[in-house]
Structure formats: structure tokens, C-alpha cells
């Protein structure tokens, strides 16, 4: 509609500014919240493939500051298989969710003073289809991978920008966490290809952010042992032994002795909360009863991961150890529920999100399909079968940063799932000149972490004391580095 209007009215874009966003997507109230929205919220589906009925769900929060000038950010959680409502509910969304009391049927929503919508327009997208509220009418779409996912999310973006064309001039960034360490650079690369080909609409793409993201099997695979040693989780003796037996290579296991030393490492760390070694591990009632972890993967699926490497590292991955000793490798990446005979992600309490997002009134309010049509909302689903088919992300990062796009690679430094040691090593390995030498960065008058700035606007940054999902642990510090990065300021 806006496009047609623009066609006839080249000089009155101010009218388009107020009329473009689809009215039917406006969220007018949310169960559990009794206040006034600080900005406009929209949500709904974008169809990316008519024939297949492939529908991607987004929730869009306008900036609470200046929607027409502030950056626009697409946010993606990882998994693969995890919904971006993880970010919305637990990390940097506009609300803090308070668990329902005994006399209440729903969690209570309070405004989040550190919401990323304080300084940016932000789209939370459930991707690929099969995840969160996104779905396809053709179930064959649930078998997917990196390449297809990037193509679909790019198709989503182009359609989204058609609907919300007033946001085309805003500086645009892509951000995500964990396995979105793959989604973000692969999608950014699709976006850049589209820009080069002048494929309309053309977003004002500026750069990207990755938090505790997977990037490269070798760097990520070698990250855990130095992390465990540096954090005081293993002894000096064991560190020396494992290094000499494995020759500093914990990625491809070369010998039985190396293997047995790594088992000792694992024994020391396996009961920690891998998402934040300082936090207790939450045990859901059902997992307490079932301490014997079994595997729910069908045997045909398990075969897909087989390898010719000297030791059967891949099969070992389907045990308690993943992802402690088996980072994301080429091939099928099992989702948490597929890996463990458990409904939920280990150590993680997702009750509030699960309760709120499955409430029929909430689903209605946010224009999500009913449970009878697409099933229950789950934090991380086992509906999809996902192939890591894009290889190492390092070449993507090189291409994007040398093409003038800004990149912030940040790590909560107490995360053991994707430890900062891997991100630190691969960013350094790119070999760019250091332009801002390792230094503390400040938030609220305190050291909030450390950073190293490289040429081509590549920055590696840690957040002191944060786990895997940085804004969940350090909301104020996270909003600080986020807003400085978007503004192009020194952090
Ligand atoms: C539930 O009980 C608490 C006190 O225990 C009270 O403050 C609150 O208003 C009650 N909520 C409802 C919905 O009745
Ligand atoms: C689903 O998609 C696949 C691949 O395009 C196609 O072969 C199949 O016929 C489709 N199934 C249905 C029910 O449309
Ligand atoms: C990186 O850039 C080179 C040269 O422009 C290109 O051939 C290659 O396909 C790009 N790779 C990726 C992963 O974008
Ligand atoms: C780095 O980013 C700034 C701010 O966006 C920009 O002005 C500058 O040209 C970029 N530098 C490089 C080398 O891309």
C-alpha cells in the first residue's frame, strides 16, 4: 500500500512515514501488562514461500527514543532450534517478566529499563521455520541448514522492508547469539549480495553483532581447555598433561592418552552450569527424576554424524559431553532436546516464557497462530533437522569487515558453552592491525570488561562476569556497549 502511495506521491514521504506499517500487525495490549507501551509494537507473519506456506514470525519493537532516526536491528537467537523470544523474554526485550504467583494465571510484565528498544528499533525473528512461532505447511522445510536459512531470512527481510518501508533509511544491523554466530554472518553476506545486485528494497546495512557465537570448529574446539584452566576449574598439572598429550589440539583427538586426559577435564567441569559457571545449575523437576540421560535421536539421524576421523569423535558427541568437548562441526547439528532425553535445555528454567507464550490470549494478542494449528511454543525445538553446511565463519567475517561493514564480536567471559577464548583467538587470527590495544571498557564508572579493536572496524569485547546470554546477566552494561557500538562511538 505504501509503495503504491509513494509511486503517486514522490514528494510527500512524510505521509508514508505515518502510514506505512501494517495496522493489523499493531499490538495493542499484552496479557500480564497493565501499563502503557513506551513505543509501538507490531507482530505477525511474513510469508517467504507461497507454494510451501512458509511463514516466519516476527515481533517488532519500535525505538522508545527516536524510531525514525535510531538504528534498526534484527535479533536472532541460536540453537539451532531456539526461538528469538529467548532474547525478548530473558535478555533485552521491552519487559521484565515476573513469574506468576500462586493466585495469578500469567507472569506479570514490567518495563525493562535496559531494553535494547531504548536506543534502537528491534525485530525479534523466529528462524528457521519450525522454530518458535514460525512454521511451514510443508514439513519437508523442517529439514534445513545454514545456506537455506540465510536465503529464507533474507527473503523475510526484503518482505519486511516492503511492509515497513519507512525504516529503509535507518542504519541497519544484524545481531545474534550462540548458534546465530552462523546465522548473522551468513545472512549479512546475503544482504550484501542483494545490495550489490541492487535488489530492492535496499536496506542501509551498516554491520553486525555476535554474542558468544560459534564461528569455526577448530578455534571453538580448542577454546575450552584454556578457559577451564584460566578460570581455575582444572589443575595446573592436568592443564600441562592435557596440553602435552593433545599437543594443544583438542579438536581432533589424536590419541587415547589425549582422550583420557580430556575425560579428566570433563569430569571436573561437567556439573557446572555451562551457560555461566558462576550460576547454579537449574534442575527441572522432570530431569531430576531422570538422571540417566538417554538419546532421543533416531538411529538414521545418528548415522549422519559419523566421521572417518581417527577416533569416533562424532558419536561421542551424542552423550553427556556435548557441547563441552564437541563444538559445532560440519554436518547435522543436534538440537538440545534431540541430544538429551529431556524436554528442556540443561540448567535453564524457561517456565515463564513457556507459560506466557502458550497462553491463548497472549498468542491472540501477538497474532501468533493457535496451539491447535502449529503446536506449543518451545524455547528450543526438536522439530527441525539442521545441517551446518556453511563451513567456517572466518571467511565471512573477513569479507564483511573488509567490505566496510562494522563488526562487534562480544563474549560474556563466564560462558563455558562458547567460551570467550575461542572468539578472542579467531578474531586475532584474521590478522588485522590492532588499532585499540587491549584495555578495560567502562560502564557506570566501573570496569565492565575488556576489548581489543582491530582495523576495519572489527572489535572483540568481553563482558566481565556475564554468561552465555549477556544481557540476561549484565543488562546495564549490555545496553551501554550496544548503544555505543550502534552510534559508531568508541566503547
Ligand atoms: C495475588 O496475591 C498477592 C499477595 O499475595 C497480591 O499482591 C496480588 O494483588 C494478588 N493478585 C491477584 C491477581 O489477585
Ligand atoms: C513439499 O515440498 C517438497 C519439496 O519441494 C515436494 O516434493 C513435496 O511434494 C511437497 N509436499 C507437499 C505436501 O506439498
Ligand atoms: C569472499 O569474497 C571472495 C572474493 O570477493 C568471494 O569469492 C567469496 O565467495 C566470498 N566468500 C564468502 C563466504 O562470502
Ligand atoms: C569504521 O566505521 C566508521 C563509522 O561508521 C566509518 O566512518 C569508517 O569509515 C569505518 N572504517 C573502515 C576502515 O571501514
188 found inside a domain: yes
Ligand 1 atom, smallest distance to 104 CA = 13
Q: What is the pLDDT of residue 264?
A: 93
Report the candidate in 67, 60, 56 with the shortest Cα–Cα distance to residue 94: 60
CB of 404 closer than 6 A to ligand 4? Answer: yes
Residue 271's pLDDT is 86
Take atom 14 of ligand 2 and give the residue whose Cα is closest. 138
Q: Is 468 a catalytic residue?
A: yes
- Is there a domain that residue 90 lies in? yes
Helices (H), 291-441: 299-304, 313-317, 336-339, 351-357, 360-365, 371-374, 394-402, 420-429
User: Reduced to 3 states, what is the DSSP secondary structure of residue 33?
Assistant: coil
Identify whether the C-beta of residue 379 lies closer than 8 Å to the C-beta of residue 350.
yes
Measured from the CB, is residue 457 less than 6 Å from ligand 4? Answer: yes
Look at residue 368 and tell me if it is in a domain: no
Cβ burial of 154 (10 Å; 0-12, 13-18, 19+) is buried
* Domains in the chain, number: 1
| Domain presence at residue 365 | no
432 lies in some domain? yes
Euclidean distance between CA atoms 95 and 356, whole angstroms: 12
* Cα-to-centroid distance, 186 and ligand 3 (Å): 11
Ligand nearest to the CA of 34: 1
The domain spanning residue 480 has which CATH number? 3.40.50.1820
Give the per-residue pLDDT at 255.
85
What per-residue confidence (pLDDT) applies to 467?
A: 92
pLDDT value, residue 120: 98
- Consecutive sets of 10 residues in the chain, 491 residues long: mean pLDDT of each? 39 46 94 97 97 97 98 95 95 94 92 97 98 97 96 98 97 96 98 97 98 93 94 97 91 83 90 87 54 36 34 27 50 62 64 94 98 95 91 97 98 95 98 98 97 98 95 96 97 97
User: Domain containing 204: what range?
Assistant: 23-216+388-487
Can you give the pLDDT at residue 251? 79
Residue whose cell numbers read 546470554: 469
The pLDDT score that the predictor gives to residue 248 is: 84
Give the per-residue pLDDT at 344.
57
Please report whether residue 468 resides in a domain. yes
Alpha-carbon dihedral 209, 211, 216, 219, rounded to 10 degrees: 120
Measured by CA distance, the residue closest to atom 3 of ligand 4 is 488
- What is the Cα–Cα distance from 384 to 131, expressed in whole angstroms? 8
Say what the pLDDT of residue 10 is.
42
Strand positions, DSSP E, 112-213: 120-125, 135-136, 143-145, 171-177, 204-211
Q: Flag whether 364 is in a domain.
A: no
Residue 374 lies inside a defined structural domain of this protein? no
pTM, whole model, 2 decimals?
0.88
Predicted confidence at residue 299, as pLDDT, reads 36
User: Going along 218-368, which residue ranges are E strands?
Assistant: 331-332
Determine whether the shortest distance from the Cβ of 469 to ligand 4 is under 6 A: no
The predicted pLDDT at position 441 comes to: 98
Protein residues with CB under 6 Å of any ligand 2 atom: 138, 140
Amino acid at each position: 500500500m505504501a509503495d503504491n502511495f509513494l509511486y503517486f506521491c514522490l514528494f510527500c514521504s512524510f505521509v508514508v512515514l505515518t502510514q506505512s506499517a501494517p495496522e493489523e500487525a499493531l499490538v495493542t495490549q499484552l496479557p500480564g501488562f497493565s501499563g502503557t507501551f513506551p513505543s509501538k509494537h507490531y507482530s505477525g507473519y511474513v510469508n517467504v514461500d507461497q507454494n510451501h506456506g512458509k511463514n516466519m514470525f516476527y515481533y517488532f519493537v519500535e525505538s522508545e527514543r527516536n524510531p525514525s532516526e535510531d538504528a534498526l536491528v534484527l535479533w536472532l537467537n541460536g540453537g539451532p532450534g531456539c526461538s528469538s523470544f529467548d532474547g525478548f523474554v530473558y535478555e533485552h526485550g521491552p519487559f521484565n517478566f515476573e513469574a506468576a504467583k500462586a493466585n495469578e494465571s500469567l507472569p506479570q510484565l514490567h518495563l525493562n529499563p535496559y531494553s535494547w528498544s531504548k536506543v534502537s528499533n528491534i525485530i525479534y525473528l523466529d528462524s528457521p521455520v519450525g522454530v518458535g512461532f514460525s512454521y511451514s505447511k510443508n514439513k519437508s522445510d523442517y529439514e534445513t541448514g545454514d545456506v537455506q536459512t540465510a536465503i529464507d531470512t533474507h527473503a523475510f527481510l526484503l518482505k519486511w522492508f516492503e511492509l515497513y518501508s519507512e525504516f529503509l533509511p535507518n542504519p541497519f544491523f544484524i545481531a545474534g547469539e550462540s548458534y546465530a554466530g552462523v546465522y548473522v554472518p551468513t545472512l549479512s553476506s546475503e544482504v550484501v549480495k542483494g545490495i550489490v545486485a541492487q535488489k530492492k528494497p535496499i536496506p542501509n546495512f551498516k554491520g553486525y553483532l555476535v554474542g558468544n557465537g560459534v564461528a569455526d570448529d577448530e578455534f571453538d574446539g580448542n577454546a575450552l581447555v584454556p578457559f577451564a584452566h584460566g578460570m581455575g576449574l582444572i589443575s595446573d598439572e592436568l592443564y600441562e598433561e592435557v596440553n602435552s598429550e593433545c599437543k594443544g589440539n583438542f579438536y581432533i583427538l589424536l590419541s587415547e592418552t589425549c582422550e583420557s586426559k580430556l575425560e579428566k577435564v570433563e569430569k571436573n567441569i561437567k556439573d557446572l552450569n555451562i551457560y555461566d559457571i558462576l550460576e547454579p545449575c537449574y534442575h527441572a523437576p522432570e530431569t531430576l527424576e531422570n538422571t540417566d540421560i538417554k538419546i532421543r535421536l533416531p538411529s538414521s539421524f545418528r548415522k549422519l554424524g559419523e566421521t572417518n576421523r581417527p577416533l569416533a569423535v562424532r558419536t561421542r558427541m551424542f552423550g553427556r559431553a556435548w557441547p563441552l568437548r564437541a563444538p559445532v562441526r560440519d554436518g547435522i547439528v543436534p538440537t538440545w532436546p534431540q541430544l538429551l532425553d529431556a524436554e528442556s535445555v540443561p540448567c535453564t528454567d524457561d517456565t515463564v516464557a513457556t507459560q506466557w507464550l502458550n497462553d491463548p490470549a497472549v498468542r491472540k494478542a501477538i497474532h501468533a497462530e493457535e496451539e491447535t494449528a502449529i503446536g506449543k511454543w518451545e524455547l528450543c525445538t526438536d522439530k527441525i533437522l539442521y545441517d551446518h553446511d556453511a563451513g567456517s565463519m572466518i571467511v565471512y567475517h573477513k569479507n564483511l569487515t573488509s567490505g566496510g561493514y562494522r563488526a562487534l564480536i562480544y563474549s560474556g567471559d563466564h560462558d563455558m558453552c562458547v567460551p570467550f577464548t575461542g572468539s578472542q583467538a579467531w578474531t586475532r587470527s584474521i590478522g588485522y592491525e590492532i588499532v585499540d590495544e587491549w584495555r578495560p571498557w567502562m560502564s557506570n564508572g566501573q570496569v565492565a570488561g575488556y576489548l581489543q579493536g582491530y582495523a576495519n572496524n572489527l572489535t572483540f569485547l568481553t563482558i566481565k562476569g556475564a554468561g552465555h546470554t549477556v544481557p540476561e546477566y549484565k543488562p546495564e552494561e549490555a545496553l551501554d556497549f550496544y548503544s555505543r557500538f550502534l552510534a559508531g562511538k568508541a566503547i
